[in-house]
């Protein structure tokens, strides 16, 4: 895919949604960090239902740590893998209190040192909470990048590298939100909704569908 096509794709995505946002509900970097940890192999809707009950009761490292694993599990038991996630969140809260003055760190290295935080989670927090130029490649972004031809790659690291290189600089800060939303609602896994797609004429996917 050439640079002109990529620029027009992101120009249209920007035109349709000038200020894209994550669908996870949060009101602080800490709330976002916990929501993203909980969102692994779970839906944003499911995470939001759990945090809507949790955050009014506990939304600081100290308050969640005080709940303990069992106490936290009660709030998040509707989310997949809640037992291991509860352990990771409690340990993350302990480390935030002990090492970071209860603040969410703003470097990838420090974030990835927290339990339950991998590269993708760190990139989401850095981009969404701190507005750093990072690219969090999830299954939606991996699929859209390969299917459209925007940034093909064999694995998430390759796609991340390609996107950071090829997405026009003026669109890079919000690109991961546009790509996630496009993958979630239009360029879906089983059957992409090509007939409703804003960028169908620019997309290089060879097996386009109708919306019938």
Q: What is the DSSP string of 96-160?
A: HHHHHTTPPPSSHHHHHTSTT--HHHHHHHHHHTT--S-----HHHHHHHHHHSSS--SSHHHHH
Annotation says 44 is catalytic? no
Q: How far apart are the first and last CA of the chain?
A: 28
| CB within 8 Å of 196: residues ≥ 6 apart | 186, 211
pLDDT for res 187: 95
Topology agreement, domain 3-20+135-202 and domain 29-130: no
Is 211 an annotated catalytic residue?
A: no
Predicted pLDDT at 172: 95
Choose the catalytic residue: 7, 16, 21, 138: 138
Using one digit for the tens of pLDDT, what is the confidence trace for 80-102?
A: 888 999 999 999 999 999 999 99
Among 5, 44, 120, 211, the active-site one is 120
CATH for 29-130 (3.30.565.10, 1.10.340.30, 3.40.190.10, 3.40.50.300): 1.10.340.30
pLDDT at position 32 is 97
Predicted TM-score of the model (pTM): 0.88
On whether 93 is known to bind a ligand per the annotation, the reply is no
Where the chain has pLDDT below 50, the residues are none
CATH number of 3-20+135-202: 1.10.1670.10
**194 annotated ligand binder:** yes
Query: What does the pLDDT read at residue 127?
Result: 95
- Quote the pLDDT of residue 212: 56
pLDDT at site 209: 84
């Amino acid at each position: 895919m050439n640079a002109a096509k990529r620029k027009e794709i992101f120009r249209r995505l920007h035109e349709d949604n000038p200020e894209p946002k994550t669908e996870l509900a949060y009101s602080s970097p800490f709330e976002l960090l916990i929501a993203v940890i909980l969102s692994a192999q779970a839906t944003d809707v499911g995470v939001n239902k759990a945090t809507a009950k949790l955050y009014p009761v506990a939304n600081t490292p100290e308050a969640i740590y005080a709940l303990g694993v069992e106490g936290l599990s009660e709030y998040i038991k509707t989310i997949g893998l809640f037992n291991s996630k509860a352990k990771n969140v409690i340990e993350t809260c302990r480390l935030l209190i002990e090492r970071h003055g209860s603040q969410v760190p703003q470097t990838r290295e420090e974030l990835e040192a927290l339990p339950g935080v991998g590269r993708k989670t760190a990139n989401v927090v850095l981009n969404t909470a701190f507005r750093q130029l990072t690219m969090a490649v999830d299954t939606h972004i991996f699929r859209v990048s390969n299917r459209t031809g925007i940034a093909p790659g064999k694995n998430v690291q390759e796609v991340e590298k390609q996107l950071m290189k090829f997405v026009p600089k003026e669109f890079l800060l919000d690109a991961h939100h546009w790509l996630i939303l496009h993958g979630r609602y239009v360029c879906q896994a089983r059957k992409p909704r090509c007939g409703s797609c804003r960028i169908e004429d620019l997309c290089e996917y060879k097996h386009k569908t109708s919306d019938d």
